[in-house]
């Protein structure tokens, strides 16, 4: 298993920083670093905008910070995009769309247990990007299959680049909109989503996984062909812990769980401390242990992270950086208590 566990630390990539060096230093402070996404630094660094690079039909308005789609523009640009499909390098994140990514690739990351990249997932991207009729492009039967294929190619080329820096590199497919699949009003049902995602993940090299902060159908996600699942356990502990059978199957096939436990919002963070968060995690793990998932297995196949991204704190990056520090302290505490150190 190339993915490490043992309660090592990582975090989600969207950060409130406006200073690239400061953001990179924060990401590098964790056991498994990543390249930060900094929408407050530049709109190109927004996760949806980065995912839209090279996508035919996209209308990017940098001045008004909007991202739209035009079917007519898609038709005009489609042939040119397809001409590049034999050149995967073309679909990597460019320096224009992420200064941070390319700074990350300049670092010596060979001595890390692993490193991580990410790209916005096709379900969330498809829900979020609207066409000229204000209709999500996920509902367009012509655009949707192309979108899944292009996203898979982009994830693979980024993973290839990261593996050149560290053999244990892996990718998060960020899917904040995944929970909408399970709404009766979504218009994109679970059965169709399963069909599309099974094909999508079959096109992506491992290790790969999903990160989200929402509350989808956890049995559905745990049943996908992924190697790692990152979630906000701080908000979803009871619901997630009820999915015992799916969690066990996921772990038995060597899956890794990233337990997002440290809040990053200013008010919530101030109410927590190391002992309280350690107690919450131990309680979840003991509950799963009593239901037949050995605690030793959970510890071996788990990472620790902050619970969510946060761009809205009045103190900007200060609470987020404190959350990173507390995540490291919590990991060290739990590893020492569990004799993993």
Label residue 341 by pLDDT band (50, 70, 90).
low
Q: What percent of the chain has pLDDT over 70?
A: 99
What are the structure tokens assigned to 119, written together?
A: 């790209």
Interior CA angle at 159 toward 156 and 165, to 5°? 150
CA-to-CA distance for 201 and 125, rounded, in angstroms?
Answer: 16
- pTM, rounded to two decimals: 0.95
Better-scored residue on pLDDT, 123 or 337: 123
Sequential DSSP letters for 294-338: -HHHHHHTEEEEES------TTTHHHHHHHHHHHHHHHHHHHHHT
Average pLDDT over residues 303-323: 94
CATH of the domain at 101: 3.20.20
**Band of the pLDDT at 339, cuts 50, 70, 90?**
confident
Q: Cis omega before residue 207 (within 30°)?
A: yes
- Residue 167 structure tokens: 């053999």
Whether the predicted pLDDT of 277 surpasses 80: yes
Beta bridge partners of 67: 60
Residue 2, in any domain of the structure? no
The 10s digit of each residue's pLDDT in 138-168 is 999 999 999 999 999 999 999 999 999 999 9
Q: How many domains are contained in the chain?
A: 1
Domain containing 282 equals: 8-337
Task: Classify residue 243: in a domain, yes or no.
Answer: yes
Residue 196: enclosing H or E segment and its boundaries? Answer: helix 190-202
pLDDT in tens, 229-267: 999 999 999 999 999 999 999 999 999 999 999 999 999
Considering only 69-78, 119-128, 169-178, 185-194, which range has the smallest mean pLDDT?
185-194
Instruction: Classify residue 178 as exposed, middle or buried by CB count within 10 Å of its CB (0-12, 13-18, 19+).
Output: buried
Alpha-helix runs per DSSP H in 29-166: 47-52, 71-82, 99-105, 122-128, 143-165
Answer whether 8's CB lies under 8 Å from 305's CB: no
């Amino acid at each position: 298993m190339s993915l490490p566990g043992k309660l090592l630390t990582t975090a989600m990539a969207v950060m409130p920083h406006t200073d690239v060096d400061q953001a990179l230093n924060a990401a590098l402070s964790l056991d498994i670093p990543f390249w930060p996404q900094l929408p407050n630094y530049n709109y190109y660094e927004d996760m949806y905008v980065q995912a839209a690079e090279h996508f035919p039909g996209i209308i990017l308005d940098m001045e008004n910070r909007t991202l739209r789609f035009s079917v007519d523009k898609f038709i005009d640009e489609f042939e040119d995009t397809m001409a590049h499909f034999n050149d995967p390098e073309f679909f990597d994140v460019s320096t224009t769309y992420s200064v941070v990514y390319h700074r990350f690739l300049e670092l010596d990351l060979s001595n890390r247990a692993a490193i991580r990249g990410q790209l916005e997932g096709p379900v969330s991207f498809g829900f979020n990007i609207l066409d000229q009729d204000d209709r999500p492009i996920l509902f367009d039967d012509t655009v949707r299959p192309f979108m899944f294929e292009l996203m898979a190619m982009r994830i693979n080329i980024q993973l290839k680049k990261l593996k050149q820096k560290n053999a244990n590199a892996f990718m998060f497919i960020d899917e904040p909109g995944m929970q909408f699949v399970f709404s009766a009003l979504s218009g994109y049902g679970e059965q169709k989503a399963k069909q599309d995602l099974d094909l999508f993940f079959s096109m992506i090299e491992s290790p790969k996984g999903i990160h989200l902060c929402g509350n989808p159908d956890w049995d559905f996600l745990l049943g996908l062909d992924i190697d790692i699942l990152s979630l906000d356990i701080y908000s979803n502990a009871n619901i997630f812990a009820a999915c015992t059978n799916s969690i066990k199957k996921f772990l038995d096939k060597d899956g890794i769980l990233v337990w997002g436990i440290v809040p990053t919002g200013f008010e919530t963070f101030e109410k927590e401390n190391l002992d309280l968060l350690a107690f919450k995690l131990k309680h979840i793990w003991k509950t799963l242990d009593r239901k037949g998932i050995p605690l030793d297995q959970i510890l071996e196949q788990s990472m620790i992270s902050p619970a969510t991204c946060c761009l809205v704190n009045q103190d900007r990056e200060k609470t987020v950086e404190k959350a990173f520090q507390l995540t490291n302290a919590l990991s060290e505490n739990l590893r020492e208590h569990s004799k993993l150190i």
